Amino acid sequence: MAGRICWRFRRLEAKERCLLYLKALMAPIERKNSWQLAEFAGDTDPSNFQHFLNRACWEADGLRNDLRRYVVEHLGDPDGVLIVDETGFLKKGTKSVGVQRQYSGTAGRTENCQVGVFLAYASAKGHAFIDRALYLPKSWTDNPQRCREAWVPEGAEFATKIQLARRMLKRAVQAGAPARWVAADALYGTDHRLRHCVEELGLNYVLAVQKDHAVWIGQKTHRVETLVTQQGAETWRILSCGEGSKGPRFYRWTALALGHPEKPHLRRWVIGRRNLGEPDKVAYFLALAPVGTTPEQLVGVIGRRWAIEQGFQDAKGEAGLDQYEVRTWHGWHRHVTLSLLAHAVMTVLRAQAIDVKKMLPGSSGSLYTFKKRCGFYYL
């Protein structure tokens, strides 16, 4: 790993600080804030890490590209799924870049927080994040002075979460990430521009939508709720959409295939999902896939979307994704990128059946083994 990323840093001090920061993020530290990371690194205070995140000369986007290449190299598969979602970071005050009172899925309510949009990659080999973007509300982009104080790049313009998602999908495809599918929740799936973007990129999708979402059939529009309700009882089948923490996740599914108005080799689908114990609780999905794709395959892709939820949980719990103490644009993107890189390394190690905990620093021998496995060598 060191050889993969260290060329991004001009100064030896920055290279060493980067490796120390990554090792600290992967260490069994209870709370991965600046003080505890600094203590792990042997510093008396967090000033060195704060300088590294806020003022040192290096590009977080370059490191993001290295992260994507690393994930694709180890987890890449032609049937890979690109998954879009967002998560909130609760904050106090008004100085942290992008913060305002807004809905946070993490808290399940409106809170004072930052929101980041993320792109994960999932395959049969595992799942990890490959991109991230901070959502900058209009309360920030309409206030140049506020942006300057948080070191937001000059000329930054407002972009919706969906626009940020489209940019990340395009970057992944242009970088050659092997993928066949895109999955996302209803915030993104309901947007026709995102669906068109995915189709233009040559990818298939299975996207959640709201029950009142309308689709065109011939010259008329129909609510997906109506189409699903009209499906006969014999069309509903019990299928597993993948393994959960308590075993296979079984639901009752129905899928209606529709033609594509311009591309006969493609099919559009309207999919309904019912909880076995709560049949009135129904979720709805739109899909686009080649002719010959089966409902079982579509259900499998829907199940893959939960990988990003697990990814958020792991990255926050194990790699300090939400435990940063930075306020600036550079600081946020740098910490988040390093956290995602640490999470990706641990994911790959798990995929290779390596027990990370046994290799974490505890003795000189274990530290050497850990560094050797991860590619962390002294410079």
**What are the pLDDT digits (tens) for 189-223?**
999 999 999 999 999 999 999 999 999 998 899 99
Q: How far is CA 180 from CA 94, 126, 289, in A?
A: 41, 16, 9
Q: pTM for this structure? A: 0.90
Element (H, E) at 379: none
pLDDT band at 378 (very low <50, low <70, confident <90, very high): very low
Q: How far from chain centre, in Å, is Cα 196? A: 21
Beta bridge partners of 120: 83, 129
Q: Which residue has the tokens 């709805």?
A: 284
**What are the pLDDT digits (tens) for 87-97?**
999 999 999 99
End-to-end alpha carbon distance in the chain: 12
Q: How many helices (H) and strands (E) does the chain have?
A: 16, 12
**What are the pLDDT digits (tens) for 324-377?**
989 999 999 999 999 999 999 999 988 876 444 455 554 444 433 444 444 443
CA dihedral 164, 212, 224, 189 (to 10 degrees): 10
Q: What is the pLDDT of residue 361?
A: 53
Strands 266-274 and 282-290: antiparallel
- HSE, CB side, 13 Å, CA atoms: give it for residue 159: 17
Q: What is the pLDDT of residue 2?
A: 66
- ∠ CA(118), CA(100), CA(313), 5° rounding? 35
Q: How many Å apart are CA 117 and CA 171, to the nearest integer?
A: 14
3-state DSSP assignment of residue 111? strand
DSSP one-letter code for 201: T
Whole-number percent of the chain with pLDDT over 70: 92
Work out the mean pLDDT of the chain and round it to a whole number.
90
Count of Cβ atoms closer than 10 Å to residue 309 Cβ:
15
**What are the pLDDT digits (tens) for 299-314?**
999 999 999 999 999 9
Please give, one letter per residue, the 3-state secondary structure of 291-355.
Answer: CCCCHHHHHHHHHHCHHHHHHHHHHHHHHCCCCCCCCCHHHHHHHHHHHHHHHHHHHHHHHCCCC
Looking at this protein, which amino acid is placed at residue 303? G
Q: What is the pLDDT of residue 369?
A: 46
Inter-residue contact 249 to 241 (CB < 8 Å): yes
Q: How many Å apart are CA 227 and CA 205, to the nearest integer?
A: 19
**What are the pLDDT digits (tens) for 68-83?**
999 999 999 999 999 9
Inter-residue contact 206 to 298 (CB < 8 Å): yes
Q: What is the pLDDT of residue 365?
A: 41
**What are the pLDDT digits (tens) for 107-125?**
788 999 999 999 999 999 9
Q: How many Å apart are CA 379 and CA 367, to the nearest integer?
A: 16
Q: How many Å apart are CA 374 and CA 365, to the nearest integer?
A: 14
DSSP one-letter code for 152: P
Structure tokens at 316: 């926050």
| 365 or 100, which is more confident | 100
What per-residue string of b and e applies to 357-377 under the rule 16 or more CB within 10 Å gives b?
eebbbeeeeeeeebbeebebe
Radius of gyration in angstroms for the set of CA atoms belonging to the chain, rounded to a whole number: 22
Strands 247-259 and 220-223: unpaired
Question: Angle at which helices 161-174 and 192-200 pack, to 10 degrees?
Answer: 10
